[in-house]
Structure 1
Amino acid sequence: MRDLVKHNIVLFSSLTGEFSHDPFVSEHWLVFIVSGFSEVFSPEGVISHPPGTLGLVRKNQLVKTVKKADGEKPFKSISICIDYQTLKRFSDQYDVKADGVYLGEPNIAIENDAFMKAYFNSLMPYFSQPEKLTPILAQIKTTEIIEILLQKPAMKNFLFDFSEPHKIDLEAYMNRYFSYNVPITQFAQLTGRSISSFKRDFTKIFNATPEKWLQKRRLEMAYFLIAQKDRKPSDVYLEVGFENLSHFSTAFKREFGVNASSIYAIYQ
């Protein structure tokens, strides 16, 4: 596995296994899949992205992604982090400002036109010679992709809306994203609250602390997947938000009085 991080540019290549990452996206990312494919999990289902996919992922959201090789072809991708500091410098230098709050989709498919193809082709040689991608070149290439994206009018608000997440419906959000394994502080940020107001609002709505409610909700989903969908415990614990199988098994036994493997055996 090779994960070459050159400041804002990540060149990833791997031939073996499946790889996932922290579901919390704190900055904008432009991702191009060179080979292999990725699967993006959401409450609506799983979407598979083949080679050639080019997408822009907005900051401050939760995204579950698994990267997979395709037989003898490695999973290979080029990801550009379009971070706040870079955008702020660009905004100040070139007087580019958002016209208003961005209200569009958080994840956008970008047309891989001639300009995008030329841009990503210019980065391909660095897979074999990463030392030549110097910090100055990485910064220049990040600035270049911002300018290319700005040729599309909708991109200005997407990139340059620097407003903080607004306060949103906490109950709906948590019921949608409970299976994402992120700290309580990030759930607070994503719902537009301080940690204290998040805990206060949460307890008022769910009559439980966030930690207790999340564990119970995740275990209930796991029970459903094992008993009704014939899923093995080893296949579901990550999906419902547990970090390791041992912790999941202990919590499951404590909650339901029976091992998860026993539930799986009963319904076979």
Structure 2
Amino acid sequence: MSSIKANTKPKILYSCYYARSREGEHFIPEHVFSYQISGEMIAADGKKSYHSKPGDFRISKRNHLAKFVKIPPEGGEFKVISLFLDQEILREIYQEYQFKIEKKPQEAAIISLNPHPLYQSFMTSLLSYLEVEQENNEVLFNLKIKEAVHLLLKVNPELKDILFDFNEPGKIDLEAFMNRNFHFNVHLNRFAYLTGRSLATFKRDFQKVFQETPRHWLLDKRLQEAYYLIKEKGKAPSEVYINVGFEDLSHFSFSFKKKFGVVPSSLSNSKF
């Protein structure tokens, strides 16, 4: 069960989760500045895991794939404030101040920020706005987003190389990318975008590389990985289906039985 308060077009979210959750898209479309109030969050981008605890601040970088597990404390709630630093606002700030970008941003999907009194006071003041339902708060929230960006640049000036990097993904090796990221549950247009292609070009190139459609390849690849994890690694189907990119257990079980002739639970209980 969760409770989320936000403006209609999410720019600032105050999220409360009463149970362990893996909800959410695996693609990060905008930079996100977050403050962990209570509970813990574990994120993984396929290369590294990130662990956020109460009092932690972090930046989740746009155009990255990552899985998030939100864990409430025993008998309590998982609470986090997240500000989406959209490109329009960032471009406005960049054009006004003309920051000089000095180097290519690091590849990490999540950047942990050291606690700072300015961050703490900002989030505390913001919480009072978010705990009360408000109407027509778009202008106010835009101002708060801009304030957050300036605070980030004051405390961590090196973040300018990340926040003002407006480059879009370039064309990359499709085969290597898909074999590395098939287990992320995102739409095909996200995969296309991250490999520097239009959806039509992505599908055409995919057919040339793998000799089958993206949807069929993804389904087969995820099921093969699930089979390996259940039979060889002893993983539970309820854990595996999310890890390999399925949205729900029933669809996973149906697809698994259709391909392998057995339900995943019977495979996990087998002795051979």
Cα separation, 2, equivalents of 1:188 and 1:128: 38
Cα separation, 2, equivalents of 1:236 and 1:12: 26
Matched, 1:217 2:221: yes
Deviations 1:210-253 (A, max 9, x none): 11111111001111111122222222112211122222122112
Aligned length: 268
Q: CA deviation at 1:46?
A: 4.7
The answer to whether the 8 A contact 2:45-2:65 is kept is no
Query: What does residue range 108-127 of structure 1 map to in structure 2 within 5 Å?
Result: 108-127=111-130
Q: Residue 135 of structure 1 aligns with which residue?
A: 138
Query: What does residue range 1-268 of structure 1 map to in structure 2 within 5 Å?
Result: 1-6=2-7, 7-44=10-47, 46-96=49-99, 98-99=101-102, 101-131=104-134, 134-151=137-154, 152-267=156-271
The answer to whether the 8 A contact 2:241-2:249 is kept is yes
Q: CA deviation at 1:104?
A: 4.5
CA RMSD of aligned residues (A): 2.2
Moved more, 28-37 or 125-134: 125-134
Cα separation, 1, equivalents of 2:114 and 2:104: 24
Please give the secondary structure, in 2, of the residue aligned with 1:264: helix
Question: Partner letter of residue 37 of structure 1?
Answer: E
Q: CA deviation at 1:100?
A: 6.0
Please give the secondary structure, in 2, of the residue aligned with 1:238: helix
Distance 1:197 1:136, change over 3 A: closer
Moved more, 146-155 or 20-29: 146-155
Please give the secondary structure, in 1, of the residue aligned with 2:219: helix
Q: CA deviation at 1:128?
A: 3.3
> What runs of 5+ residues in structure 2 fail to find an aligned partner?
none
Moved more, 172-181 or 198-207: 198-207
Please give the secondary structure, in 2, of the residue aligned with 1:237: helix
Cα separation, 2, equivalents of 1:147 and 1:223: 49
Question: Partner letter of residue 5 of structure 1?
Answer: A
> What runs of 5+ residues in structure 1 fail to find an aligned partner?
none
The answer to whether the 8 A contact 2:231-2:267 is kept is yes
Question: Partner letter of residue 2 of structure 1?
Answer: S
Question: Partner letter of residue 224 of structure 1?
Answer: Y
Distance 1:242 1:106, change over 3 A: closer
Question: Partner letter of residue 254 of structure 1?
Answer: K
The answer to whether the 8 A contact 1:38-1:66 is kept is yes
Q: CA deviation at 1:131?
A: 2.9
TM-score with structure 1 setting the length = 0.91
Q: CA deviation at 1:133?
A: 9.3
Cα separation, 2, equivalents of 1:72 and 1:132: 32
Question: Partner letter of residue 39 of structure 1?
Answer: I
The answer to whether the 8 A contact 2:20-2:69 is kept is no
Q: CA deviation at 1:108?
A: 1.1
Question: Partner letter of residue 26 of structure 2?
Answer: P
Q: CA deviation at 1:117?
A: 1.4
The answer to whether the 8 A contact 1:101-1:163 is kept is no
Q: CA deviation at 1:45?
A: 6.3
